[in-house]
């Protein structure tokens, strides 16, 4: 049985250092929920509070209606996958997977049946009797996943499970984990610092910084409509152009530093004339054109499917533009102009760094 | 490779020289003792008489049973208590843990027979505690002698050794293993038996073997406190030097029996730990957490009790060394009298201790580093054989080594008995395996690329070894050498077989003074010995920058 997780006003302190000041979070039943942030943002700390390995200094944690603050980890019915897998090195793969079932007094032949079935699901049936020391990282990862899921936990907690794998294996395991999670529909909290991983796997993502949730949303929402400048720059590549609000024909618009006007109808009403803003444009949203922002190509890098250009603006700022590599290739030193669709940009207040865009339609 | 195959280069020469040393001072004496047990070199007659003599009388065979009883009981008790102590201090936050660790280390490094002597002072027939107890309860306790006394002294002495080893293993255990077990529903005692113990079992076995070997080989403790309870090393000593005169063949036969005994145990331990060895490295080690209530109190009590008992003997000799004496009795008042007496009557022994041990350690470091270097970096069939042979001294108890050297070098052309050289040779042979092992470990950690970089920049192999490899090994080798020095100055069981009046060392002097009842002088000498140990320990801490030791 999967559960919904409710966290109300969580506080975490280590000594007199506050890691998480006041955090509320609601994870839906069966959801794949990711905590995303750079190291030290408190994401692993929060995960370990849910698991019961960290003390909770304030607030309430609920699995459905059950308050779990004071329950020891082994009574919370969680499955946990650790960053370094934490495979018991003295037990075979099969023994590792069966371990939790034994603790739950599951008897043969059901024990073997469930272990075998699980090993099948993670595709390591042939390794059942092998010792972990002779296994690759990916294989150990599969054991760790099987061991956590086979006990049919209410919640699956994963702490950067893919960070020790090489790039190719990581992508393979991403889809494996996602597939298995969908199959079993276990409420999952997944911790990572890898935005690509978060975007590709999650139902919803919470972006964290300094113990505070910056934004919660689906991958698309977070990518397309970041709530503040931090989220905009943390998720994906962003070029930031300085500008200010001007009023033309009774419409609020943005004037960039070199005088270009961006006409957008998505600005919120609270914007004031002459307010300083930062305009965030993704490198792939920019096009070479006859009009628009002026610049000079400083360098270009071929990346296979795309060509990346470093372009210097008149104010010496260097921005990035990426184009399909099959398009016309521009030369270094060439003067260009860059146009972009004002509806696809995000505009933030210079000082508060909060979004000045209306909610997505 | 620039070297041509047929050319004997410097490294081969060094290997051969080390080989020669080992052949002369180890292989020859040990094979001599094996052959000597069934063959009389003077008459040229083969006979099993010595073995027949041993197995015909329960007076002799009992020593095997006694030794087995003492060693297995002590090993079991110390592994249980030492591991428990290590686990408790690793999981529960203990106040003054640093001081506790230092106490444990000092106790491990102090000579074992000092413990025996100190416990006699406390709990012997006329012991301080015994007297108070007897007066208070109007009973007459016999004091601790025989089996129970040996058991007490050894157990208290060896718990710190197991503690230090197991603590080291627990440091390498990642806490996520604990957490994984807990998240799957396994806690408390079950977790300890299903997860923790299987993972540290190889270390528990290794430390158990060490305790077993040390207890089996120890000669001073059963000699002082055993009284009628005779163990194998006591029998060897008596049959060779003591009461029964010099029956060479008989001493050789007992030596063979002991070596067979230790070899079996050694192989058994190797077999088990080879099968169970698990590589572990901790990203996030276990953090000790503050405990509450009765658990906290009991944990502290247990830890402090172990540490207190471990260092108690050292305090006893320290206090005794300053106490005034009248003949064999301690009397009121404190002074430096015992020290004055020690320096005037035993000055020679004090000097010998430092001279012999320093000479030995220089030889050990040179040979140890070279053998380690050739066997790690210049692998060949020859170095492999050398590597194996140099590990044999592990299983040869000190008294057996002493007898072997004596029997081998008591006649021309190799007349060395009674010389300082033979004692130094015994030290070198006994301690060299440890230095080789630690130097090899250090070398394995040095990336080969660093040496290759040096060679790519134009230095030849020898220059590279001197200018790059050696400096990188320096601090590790130095601290290892200092620890070896500490164990050499406390060595008794081999040197007591080999000494003559002029080559007496401090440990021998302490032993003979205790036997004669000159407790004052014995205490003063023991204090000098322990102080040297502590000074060296501080030096090691300084060099390594860590508050721990490699044993």
Residue of A274, A257, A253, A277 lying closest to A265 (CA atoms): A253
Q: Which two structure tokens, joined as six digits, stand for A256? A: 């960039």
Contact A86 B179 (CB under 8 A): yes
Lowest mean pLDDT among A60-64, B136-140, B219-223, B387-391: B136-140
User: Which of chain A's residues have a Cβ under 8 Å away from the Cβ of B190?
Assistant: 103
Q: How far apart are the first and last CA of chain B?
A: 38
Contact B180 A74 (CB under 8 A): no
Confidence of residue B104 (pLDDT cuts 50, 70, 90): very high
**Mean pLDDT across chain A:** 89
CA B307, CA B288: separation in Å to the nearest integer? Answer: 18
Mean pLDDT (whole number) for A262-270 = 80
Q: What is the pLDDT of residue B6?
A: 46
CA B11, CA B461: separation in Å to the nearest integer? Answer: 10
Contact A312, A295 (CB under 8 A): yes
Phi and psi for A204 in degrees, rounded to 5? -140, 160
Searching chain A, which residue's CA lies closest to the CA of residue B190?
A: A103
Asked whether the predicted pLDDT for residue B4 surpasses 50, the reply is no
CA separation, residue B286 to residues A39, A91, B88, B89, B160 (Å) = 21, 21, 11, 11, 20
Mean pLDDT (whole number) for B139-143 = 68
Asked whether the predicted pLDDT for residue B1 surpasses 50, the reply is no
For residue A18, the SS3 value is strand
**Which residue in B186, B280, B283 is closest to A103 by CB distance?**
B186
CA B24, CA B43: separation in Å to the nearest integer? Answer: 24
Q: What is the pLDDT of residue A112?
A: 93
Contact B527, B318 (CB under 8 A): yes
A210: closest CA of chain B, how far (Å): 22
Q: What is the pLDDT of residue B385?
A: 80
CA B249, CA B269: separation in Å to the nearest integer? Answer: 30
CA B225, CA B156: separation in Å to the nearest integer? Answer: 14
Q: Hey, of B169, B172, B177, B183, which one would you mutate to test binding to chain A, going by the most A CBs within 10 A of its CB?
A: B183
Q: Edge-to-edge, what's the strand order for the sheet holding A58-63?
A: A17-27, A5-14, A58-63, A66-67
Q: Hey, of A74, A96, A186, which one would you mutate to test binding to chain B, going by the most B CBs within 10 A of its CB?
A: A74
CB pairs under 8 A between A and B: 65
Count helices and strands (H / E) in chain B: 25, 4
Mean pLDDT (whole number) for A77-89 = 87
Q: What is the pLDDT of residue B376?
A: 84
Confidence of residue A30 (pLDDT cuts 50, 70, 90): very high
Q: What is the pLDDT of residues B428-464, one digit of tens each?
A: 998 888 888 888 888 888 877 777 777 776 677 777 8
Q: Which two structure tokens, joined as six digits, stand for B44? A: 């040229």
Asked whether the predicted pLDDT for residue B414 surpasses 80, the reply is no
The answer to whether A62 contacts chain B (CB < 8 Å) is no
Q: What is the pLDDT of residue B3?
A: 44
Contact A103 B174 (CB under 8 A): no
Searching chain A, which residue's CA lies closest to the CA of residue B284?
A: A84
The answer to whether A301 contacts chain B (CB < 8 Å) is no
User: Which of chain B's residues have a Cβ under 8 Å away from the Cβ of A51?
Assistant: 179, 183
The answer to whether A90 contacts chain B (CB < 8 Å) is yes
Q: Which two structure tokens, joined as six digits, stand for B221? A: 């403790």
Mean pLDDT (whole number) for A231-257 = 87
User: Which of chain A's residues have a Cβ under 8 Å away from the Cβ of B182?
Assistant: 53, 72-74
**Which residue in A76, A82, A100 is closest to B176 by CB distance?**
A82
Helix, strand and coil in chain B, % to nearest 5 = 75, 5, 20
Mean pLDDT (whole number) for B169-174 = 88
Query: Which residues lie below 8 Å from residue A277, measured CB to CB, with a gap of 6+?
Result: A242, A243, A244, A245, A254, A347, A348, A349, A350, A356
Percent of chain B residues past pLDDT 70, beyond the cut? 95
The answer to whether A80 contacts chain B (CB < 8 Å) is yes
Contact A103 B185 (CB under 8 A): yes
Contact B185 A86 (CB under 8 A): no
Searching chain A, which residue's CA lies closest to the CA of residue B199?
A: A90
B299: closest CA of chain A, how far (Å): 22
Q: What is the pLDDT of residues A295-312, one digit of tens each?
A: 999 999 998 889 999 999
Confidence of residue B186 (pLDDT cuts 50, 70, 90): confident
Mean pLDDT (whole number) for B397-405 = 89
CA separation, residue B122 to residues A202, B125, B309, B517 (Å) = 71, 9, 12, 15
Q: What is the pLDDT of residues B359-386, one digit of tens each?
A: 999 999 998 888 888 888 877 777 778 7
Contact A191, A160 (CB under 8 A): yes
The answer to whether A120 contacts chain B (CB < 8 Å) is no
* CA B166 to chain CA centroid, nearest Å: 17
User: Which of chain B's residues have a Cβ under 8 Å away from the Cβ of A75?
Assistant: 185
Residue of A236, A68, A240, A88 lying closest to A155 (CA atoms): A68
DSSP B296-332: HHHHHHHHHHHHHHHHHHHHHHHHHHHEEEETTEEEE
Query: Which residues lie below 8 Å from residue A212, measured CB to CB, with a gap of 6+?
Result: A20, A21, A23
Searching chain B, which residue's CA lies closest to the CA of residue A50?
A: B183
Phi and psi for B187 in degrees, rounded to 5? -135, 170
Searching chain A, which residue's CA lies closest to the CA of residue B197?
A: A90
Asked whether the predicted pLDDT for residue B62 surpasses 70, the reply is yes
Asked whether the predicted pLDDT for residue A138 surpasses 50, the reply is yes
Residues paired with residue A191 on neighbouring β-strands, in sequence order: A35, A159
Q: What is the pLDDT of residue A18?
A: 92
Q: What is the pLDDT of residue B375?
A: 83
Q: What is the pLDDT of residues B201-260, one digit of tens each?
A: 888 988 998 899 889 888 888 888 888 888 888 888 887 776 555 677 888 888 898 898
What is the CB-side half-sphere exposure of residue B452 using CA atoms within 13 A?
6
The H or E element spanning position A157 is strand A155-159
Confidence of residue A158 (pLDDT cuts 50, 70, 90): very high
Confidence of residue A26 (pLDDT cuts 50, 70, 90): very high
Q: What is the pLDDT of residue B305?
A: 94
User: Which of chain A's residues have a Cβ under 8 Å away from the Cβ of B93?
Assistant: none
Confidence of residue B2 (pLDDT cuts 50, 70, 90): very low
> Which carries the bigger pLDDT value, residue B6 or residue A18?
A18
Q: What is the pLDDT of residues B503-536, one digit of tens each?
A: 899 999 998 888 888 888 889 999 999 999 999 9
CA B274, CA B264: separation in Å to the nearest integer? Answer: 15
Confidence of residue B88 (pLDDT cuts 50, 70, 90): very high
Asked whether the predicted pLDDT for residue A24 surpasses 70, the reply is yes
Mean pLDDT (whole number) for A31-55 = 92
Query: Which residues lie below 8 Å from residue A54, measured CB to CB, with a gap of 6+?
Result: A12, A45, A48
Q: Which two structure tokens, joined as six digits, stand for B364? A: 């050990």
The answer to whether A189 contacts chain B (CB < 8 Å) is no
Confidence of residue B551 (pLDDT cuts 50, 70, 90): low
Count of other CB atoms within 10 angstroms of residue B276? 13
Q: Hey, of B180, B188, B283, which one would you mutate to test binding to chain A, going by the most A CBs within 10 A of its CB?
A: B180
Contact B115, B220 (CB under 8 A): no
**Mean pLDDT across chain B:** 85
CA A315, CA A260: separation in Å to the nearest integer? Answer: 14
Q: Edge-to-edge, what's the strand order for the sheet holding A78-81?
A: A78-81, A155-159, A187-192, A32-36, A204-209, A212-217
Contact A343, A254 (CB under 8 A): no
B167: closest CA of chain A, how far (Å): 19
Residue of B128, B130, B123 lying closest to B144 (CA atoms): B123
Q: Hey, of B93, B174, B185, B194, which one would you mutate to test binding to chain A, going by the most A CBs within 10 A of its CB?
A: B185
Phi and psi for A212 in degrees, rounded to 5? -120, 135
Residue of B48, B524, B546 lying closest to B323 (CA atoms): B524
ipTM, interface predicted TM-score of the complex: 0.71
Q: What is the pLDDT of residues A193-240, one digit of tens each?
A: 999 999 999 999 999 999 999 999 999 999 988 999 999 999 888 899
- Hey, CA dihedral for B85, B90, B93, B96, is it positive or negative? positive
CA separation, residue A68 to residues A54, A76, A140 (Å) = 13, 7, 30
Lowest mean pLDDT among A106-120, B146-160, B470-484: B470-484
Interior angle at CA A254, CA A311 and CA A214, nearest 5: 80
Domains of chain B: 1-35+335-551 (1.10.3720.10), 63-315 (1.10.3720.10)
CA B130, CA A333: separation in Å to the nearest integer? Answer: 98
Residue of B551, B437, B416, B430 lying closest to B493 (CA atoms): B430
Residue of B287, B86, B102, B80 lying closest to B167 (CA atoms): B86
Domains of chain A: 5-227 (3.40.50.300), 231-349 (2.40.50.140)
Contact A51 B283 (CB under 8 A): no
Contact A264, A257 (CB under 8 A): no
For residue B479, the SS3 value is helix
Contact A73 B179 (CB under 8 A): yes
Interior angle at CA A72, CA A66 and CA A78, nearest 5: 70
Mean pLDDT (whole number) for B395-418 = 83
Q: What is the pLDDT of residue B473?
A: 85
CA B50, CA B58: separation in Å to the nearest integer? Answer: 14
């Amino acid at each position: 049985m999967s559960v919904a997780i409710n966290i109300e006003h969580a506080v975490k302190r280590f000594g007199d250092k506050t890691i998480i000041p006041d955090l509320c979070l609601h994870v839906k039943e069966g959801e794949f929920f990711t905590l995303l942030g750079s190291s030290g943002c408190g994401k692993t700390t929060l995960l370990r509070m849910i698991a019961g390995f960290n003390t909770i200094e304030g607030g309430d944690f609920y699995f459905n209606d059950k308050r779990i603050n004071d329950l020891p980890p082994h009574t919370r019915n969680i499955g946990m996958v650790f960053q370094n897998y934490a495979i018991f090195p003295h037990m075979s793969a099969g023994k590792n997977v069966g371990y939790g079932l034994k603790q739950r007094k599951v008897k043969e032949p059901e024990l073997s049946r469930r272990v075998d079935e699980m090993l099948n699901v993670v595709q390591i049936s042939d390794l059942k009797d092998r010792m972990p020391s002779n296994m690759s990282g990916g294989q150990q990862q599969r054991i760790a996943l099987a061991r956590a899921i086979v006990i049919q936990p209410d919640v699956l907690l994963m702490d950067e499970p893919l960070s020790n794998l090489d790039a190719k294996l990581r992508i393979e395991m991403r889809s494996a984990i996602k597939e298995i999670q969908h199959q079993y529909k276990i409420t999952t909290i997944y911790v990572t610092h890898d935005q690509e991983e978060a975007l590709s796997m999650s139902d919803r993502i919470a972006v964290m910084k300094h113990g505070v949730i910056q934004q919660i949303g689906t991958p698309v929402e977070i990518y397309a409509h970041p709530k503040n400048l931090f989220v905009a720059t943390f998720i994906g590549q962003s070029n930031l152009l300085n500008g200010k609000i001007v009023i033309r024909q009774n419409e609020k618009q943005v004037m960039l530093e070199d005088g270009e006007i961006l006409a957008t109808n998505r600005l919120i009403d609270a914007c004031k004339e002459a307010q300083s803003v930062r305009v965030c444009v993704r490198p792939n949203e920019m096009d070479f054109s006859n009009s628009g922002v002026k610049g000079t190509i400083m360098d270009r890098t071929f990346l296979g499917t795309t060509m990346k250009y470093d372009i210097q603006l008149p104010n010496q700022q260097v921005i990035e533009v990426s184009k399909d590599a099959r398009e016309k290739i521009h030369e270094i030193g060439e003067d260009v102009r860059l146009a972009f669709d004002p509806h696809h940009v995000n505009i933030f207040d210079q000082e508060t760094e909060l979004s000045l865009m209306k909610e997505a339609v | 490779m620039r070297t041509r195959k047929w050319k004997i280069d410097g490294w081969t020469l060094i290997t051969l020289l080390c080989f020669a040393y080992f052949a002369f001072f180890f292989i020859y004496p040990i094979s001599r003792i094996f052959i000597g047990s069934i063959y009389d070199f003077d008459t040229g007659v083969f006979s099993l008489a010595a073995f027949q003599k041993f197995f015909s009388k329960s007076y002799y065979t009992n020593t095997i049973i006694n030794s087995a009883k003492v060693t297995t009981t002590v090993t079991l008790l110390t592994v249980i208590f030492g591991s428990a102590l290590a686990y408790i201090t690793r999981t529960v936050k203990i106040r003054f843990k640093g001081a506790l660790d230092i106490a444990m280390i000092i106790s491990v490094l102090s000579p074992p027979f000092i413990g025996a002597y100190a416990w006699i002072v406390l709990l012997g027939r006329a012991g301080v505690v015994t007297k108070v107890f007897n007066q208070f309860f109007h009973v007459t306790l016999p004091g601790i002698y025989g089996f129970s006394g040996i058991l007490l002294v050894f157990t208290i002495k060896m718990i710190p050794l197991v503690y230090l080893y197991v603590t080291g293993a627990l440091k390498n255990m990642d806490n996520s293993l604990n957490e994984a077990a807990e998240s799957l529903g396994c806690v408390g005692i079950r977790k300890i038996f299903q997860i923790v113990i299987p993972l540290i079992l190889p270390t528990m076995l290794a430390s158990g073997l060490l305790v077993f070997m040390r207890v089996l080989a120890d000669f001073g403790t059963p000699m002082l406190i055993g009284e009628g309870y005779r163990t194998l090393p006591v029998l060897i000593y008596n049959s060779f030097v003591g009461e029964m005169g010099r029956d060479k063949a008989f001493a050789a036969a007992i030596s063979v029996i002991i070596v067979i005994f230790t070899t079996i145990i050694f192989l058994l331990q190797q077999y088990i730990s080879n099968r169970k060895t698990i590589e572990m490295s901790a990203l996030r080690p276990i953090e000790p957490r503050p405990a509450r209530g009765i658990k906290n109190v009991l944990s502290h009590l247990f830890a402090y009790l172990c540490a207190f008992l471990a260092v108690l003997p050292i305090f006893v000799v320290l206090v005794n060394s300053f106490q005034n004496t009248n003949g064999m009795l301690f009397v009121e008042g404190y002074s430096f009298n015992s020290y004055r007496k020690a320096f005037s009557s035993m000055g020679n022994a004090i000097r010998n201790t430092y001279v012999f041990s320093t000479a030995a350690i220089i030889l050990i470091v040179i040979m140890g580093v070279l053998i380690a270097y050739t066997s790690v970096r210049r692998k060949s069939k020859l170095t492999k054989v050398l590597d194996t042979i140099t590990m044999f001294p592990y299983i040869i108890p000190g008294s057996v080594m002493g007898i072997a050297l004596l029997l081998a070098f008591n006649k021309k052309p190799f007349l060395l008995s009674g010389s300082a050289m033979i004692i130094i040779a015994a030290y070198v042979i006994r301690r060299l395996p440890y230095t080789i092992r630690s130097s090899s470990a250090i070398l394995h950690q040095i990336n080969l690329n660093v040496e290759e970089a040096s060679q790519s920049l134009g230095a030849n192999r020898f220059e590279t070894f001197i200018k790059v490899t050696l400096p990188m090994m320096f601090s590790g080798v130095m601290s290892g050498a200092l620890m070896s020095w500490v164990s050499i100055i406390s060595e008794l069981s081999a040197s007591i077989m080999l000494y003559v009046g002029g080559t007496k060392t401090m440990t021998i002097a302490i032993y003979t003074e205790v036997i004669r009842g000159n407790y004052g002088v014995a205490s003063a000498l023991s204090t000098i010995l322990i102080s040297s140990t502590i000074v060296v320990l501080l030096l090691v801490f300084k060099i390594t920058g860590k508050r721990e030791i490699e044993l």
